[in-house]
């Protein structure tokens, strides 16, 4: 039997079907809008964060390029951005320009960074005339998808997205280097030079203190509360006698170290007498010491073997204050001394000495550095100093610095030995040398700082680090001292 369908009922059903489809379509459309908006918001958030990573990468790149300028001329690493763009001789400006940085996030969307470095004279350290640098980095990430705001426009305003125009210039994006929607964030950082003498001892490789009679502490010759008349006083000592190695093993040997110990992801052993903390995040790549290239020097004897005298000059780095010697050999029971004389009134004078061979001092031999003299001694050979072989009459380790020149062949071994109950007030920077302190004595009193390929202390030796050394000597790197994001 055929059932007759009521036209009114069929029409109502059709209406309901259309209505349901319409409602479902509206719900689907709204759901799609909400999901798309949330996705867009998440995408904006991600690119906003990634652009900050790009800007921070620009700061890191600038610090790395600045450090390249510290390497000696001719070193393959002395090739910063300046090689192609040039440092401004007046303001030391360094402009890296736009560079693409590989990116693992956001499906490999490339970052771009624009970095400039300059040296405003107002951020120069008056204590040592070290120039601080200002780094400005802009990190940019393109926004994929439509150039429109997400569901909450306040998020767009907060993040200052460039959806239609560049927010820094107000120009339309079509006239900019990036002609699509993007996120840009700018960072400004100030970096300061860091001295290689920032530690009491720093070794590239092995650092070994093998005697519990060893004491390493610190004082500050600039501070009357941390020294007495600028000299070490055990009652005023400080606890910045830090020791560190780029290697994985540091043997403190039960020595009394008033400071921290640090390795490069390694282990410090026998640290029961350490007052500071143990760190495993240390790394400091020492700048190599190049051979001095002086166009003009004072005429001097080739080899110093007996009583001799050379005069310091009033201007640091002037030809009148530079000397080249083949060797210094002052050994024996009779008095043999090389006297470096300063101004009669004791005012500051300067001397640079380059020894192309060895330095050997023992017995009654001495290098005497008169008060007021600032001496820098470069040596290409081995060094052996016993007893009071270097008499720094100012008693300030900041007055005398030894620089061990890196040999042309990196496999060549060089040594810097202090033995025979050494008394020394000086800083030693010899990153290619094996440094041995008090190698053959049972007592020694040393004021200063040591940087070597390896460093070994034995016997009964006291090393007092002068914190003032951290404001002088060779600049080894740069450290960030201030950082802020420019939200304009």
For 327-359, the pLDDT digits (tens) are 999 987 778 899 999 988 888 999 999 999 999
The whole-model pTM stands at: 0.83
Tell me the average pLDDT across 209-237: 93
Least confident of 90-104, 184-198, 201-215, 442-456: 90-104
The answer, yes or no, to whether residue 441 has pLDDT greater than 80, is no
Q: What is the pLDDT of residue 324?
A: 92
pLDDT for 450 beyond 80: yes
Residue 167 pLDDT: 76
Tokens at residue 306, please?
A: 């007996």
What local confidence, expressed as pLDDT, does residue 427 receive?
97
Q: Where are the domains of the chain?
A: 39-195+479-486, 201-473
Residues of the chain by 3-state class (helix, strand, coil), percent to 5 = 20, 40, 40
pLDDT at 465 over 90: yes
Residue 232 has φ and ψ, to the nearest 5°, of -65, 135
Alpha carbon 371 to its chain centroid, in Å, reads 32
pLDDT of residue 400: 96
* Residue 3 reports pLDDT greater than 70: no
Number of residues in the chain: 488
| pLDDT of 84 above 50 | no
Mean pLDDT to the nearest integer, 165-183: 73
Percent share of the chain, pLDDT over 90: 46
Tell me the average pLDDT across 169-191: 79
Cα atoms in the Cβ-side hemisphere of radius 13 Å centred on 367: 29
Identify the residue with better confidence: 146 or 431: 431
For range 441-445, the mean pLDDT:
75
Q: Identify the burial level of 6 via C-beta atoms within 10 angstroms of its C-beta, where 0-12 means exposed, 13-18 middle and 19 or more buried.
A: exposed
Task: State how far the alpha carbon of 63 is from the alpha carbons of 75, 81, 138, 192, 275, in Å.
Answer: 18, 11, 15, 10, 32
> Region 84-96: what's the mean pLDDT?
51
Report d(CA 453, CA 443) in Å as an integer.
24
Q: What does the alpha-carbon distance between residue 476 and residue 427 come to, in Å, rounded to a whole number?
A: 15
Taking 90 as the threshold, does the pLDDT of residue 443 lie above it?
Answer: no
Tell me which residue of 237, 256, 245, 276 sits closest to 467, measured CA to CA. Answer: 237
Distances (CA, A) of 245 to 59, 265, 286, 405, 445: 26, 10, 11, 20, 23
Determine contact, residues 68/79, Cβ cutoff 8 Å: yes
318 or 377: which carries more pLDDT confidence? 377
Check pLDDT > 80 for residue 166.
no
- Token pair 């927010």 is found at 167
The arithmetic mean of pLDDT across residues 134-163, rounded, is: 76
Task: Look at 297 and 362; give whichever has higher pLDDT.
Answer: 362
Q: Has residue 282 got a pLDDT over 90?
A: yes
Distance CA 300, CA 310 (A): 8
pLDDT 10s digits, 5-21? 556 665 677 788 888 88
Closest of 288, 379, 293 to residue 329, by C-alpha: 379
Mean pLDDT, all residues of the chain: 85
Give the distance, in angstroms, between the CA of residue 488 and the centroid of all CA atoms in the same chain. 30
Q: Which residues contact 37 (CB under 8 A, 6 or more apart)?
A: 150, 151
Q: Please give the structure tokens belonging to residue 458.
A: 């034995």
Sign of CA dihedral 255, 403, 423, 416: positive
- Helix and strand numbers, DSSP H then E, in the chain: 3, 32
Phi, psi of 393 (to 5 degrees): -70, -15
pLDDT digits (tens, 9 = 90+) for 366-398: 999 999 999 999 999 999 998 889 999 999 999
Judged by average pLDDT, the poorest of 82-86, 393-397, 441-445 is: 82-86
Q: Does residue 174 register a pLDDT over 80?
A: no
pLDDT of amino acid 236: 96
What's the rounded mean pLDDT across residues 33-51? 77
| Position with higher pLDDT, 212 vs 288 | 288
Residue 86: pLDDT band (50, 70, 90) is: very low
Helix (H) or strand (E) holding 176: none
Angstrom distance (rounded) from CA 256 to CA 286: 26
Closest of 398, 202, 193 to residue 285, by C-alpha: 202
Mean pLDDT of the region 36-64: 82
Residue 90's pLDDT is 46
């Amino acid at each position: 039997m055929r059932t007759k369908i009521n036209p009114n009922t069929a029409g109502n059903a059709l209406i309901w079907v259309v209505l349901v489809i319409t409602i479902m379509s509206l719900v689907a459309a709204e759901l799609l809008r909400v999901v798309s908006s949330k996705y867009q918001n998440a995408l904006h958030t991600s690119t906003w964060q990634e652009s900050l990573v790009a800007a921070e990468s620009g700061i890191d790149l600038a610090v790395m390029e600045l450090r390249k300028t510290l390497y000696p001329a001719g070193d393959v690493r002395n090739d910063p951005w300046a090689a192609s763009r040039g440092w401004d001789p007046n303001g030391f400006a360094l402009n890296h320009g736009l560079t693409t940085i590989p990116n693992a996030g956001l499906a490999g969307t490339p970052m771009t960074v624009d970095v400039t470095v300059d040296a405003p004279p107002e951020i120069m350290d008056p204590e040592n005339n070290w120039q601080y640098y200002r780094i400005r980095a802009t990190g940019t990430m393109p926004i994929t998808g439509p150039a429109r705001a997400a569901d909450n426009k306040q998020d767009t305003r907060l993040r200052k997205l460039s959806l239609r125009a560049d927010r820094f210039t107000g120009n339309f994006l079509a006239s900019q280097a990036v002609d699509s929607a993007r996120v840009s964030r700018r960072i400004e950082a100030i970096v300061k030079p860091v001295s290689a003498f920032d530690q009491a001892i720093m070794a590239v490789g092995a650092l070994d203190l093998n005697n519990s009679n060893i004491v390493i502490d610190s004082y500050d010759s600039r501070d009357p509360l941390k020294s007495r008349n600028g000299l070490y006083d055990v009652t005023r000592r400080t606890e910045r006698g830090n020791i560190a190695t780029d290697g994985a093993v540091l043997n403190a040997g039960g020595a009394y170290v008033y400071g921290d110990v640090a390795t490069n992801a390694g282990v410090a052993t026998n640290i029961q007498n350490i007052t500071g903390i143990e760190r495993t995040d240390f790394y400091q790549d020492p700048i190599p010491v190049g051979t001095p290239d002086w166009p003009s020097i004072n005429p001097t004897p080739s080899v110093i073997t007996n009583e001799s005298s050379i005069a310091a000059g009033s201007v640091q780095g002037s030809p009148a204050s530079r000397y080249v010697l083949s060797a210094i050999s002052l050994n024996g029971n009779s008095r043999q001394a090389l006297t470096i004389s300063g101004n009669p009134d004791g005012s500051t004078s300067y001397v640079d000495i380059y020894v192309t061979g060895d330095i050997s001092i023992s017995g009654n031999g001495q290098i005497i550095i008169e008060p007021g003299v600032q001496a820098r001694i470069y040596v290409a050979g081995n060094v052996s100093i016993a007893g009071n072989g270097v008499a720094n009459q100012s008693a300030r380790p900041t007055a005398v610095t030894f620089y061990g020149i890196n040999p042309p062949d990196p496999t060549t071994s060089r040594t810097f030995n202090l033995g025979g109950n050494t008394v020394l007030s000086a800083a030693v920077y010899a990153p290619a040398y094996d440094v041995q302190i008090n190698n053959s004595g049972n007592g020694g009193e040393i004021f200063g700082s040591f940087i070597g390929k390896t460093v070994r202390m034995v016997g009964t030796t006291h090393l007092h680090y002068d914190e003032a050394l951290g404001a002088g000597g060779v600049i080894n790197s740069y450290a960030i001292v201030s950082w802020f994001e420019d939200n304009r």
